[in-house]
Amino acid sequence: MNISDKNITTLLESRNEQALKLLSEKYGGLCSSISYNVLGNRSDSEEVTNDTYMKVWNTIPPEKPRSLCAYVAKIVRNLSLDKLRYNNRSKRCGETDALLSELEECIPATDNTEKSAENNELKSVLNAFLAQLDERTRKIFVLRYFACYSIADISERLAITETNTTSILNRTRTKLRKYLSDKDVYIQKGE
């Protein structure tokens, strides 16, 4: 049975628990994949996936996402990163830290709620940057920095070499730094 996002959202808004079952059927694989890519642990990934369903349940309404898929993906990614931080308070996770440090020079880490306006501006600028990339480059960038795929996984998925993937990511980060500079988005390192 293929149910539309609109129907799932309507069920969520009417507080019908069937929405959780349908959400799990439609987006369970996506949630598990994103979460596992961040955490590298099946048990934690399952926990975060279930937490994602509950967060969607608790936020719709009042939220009315334009894209349920993007909304769910954003929630599972953020919850996964929160879980990773919790799990690794004193011990760092190599692969995820590596990909986050790749972007460190372009995009600041901001946990301060006072910076929410700056974060919204940065989000708009990043979306505009991604929109001007060709489809393959955008896909590589999003798989790496949003879905937390490894270089090897991206290369296999897109049938290109790891060297090519790394090169595309390096060039894209350089373009991003220039784009942010041209838009007068200044990045402060080390707060």
pLDDT, tens digit, 9 for 90 and up, residues 103-152 = 655 665 544 444 444 556 777 788 888 889 999 999 999 888 877 788 89
Predicted structure pTM score: 0.61
- One-character DSSP codes across 65-90: -S-HHHHHHHHHHHHHHHHHHHHTSS
Domains and CATH numbers, the chain: 5-91 (1.10.1740.10), 96-182 (1.10.10.10)
Q: Does residue 98 surpass a pLDDT of 80?
A: no
3-class secondary-structure state, position 86: helix
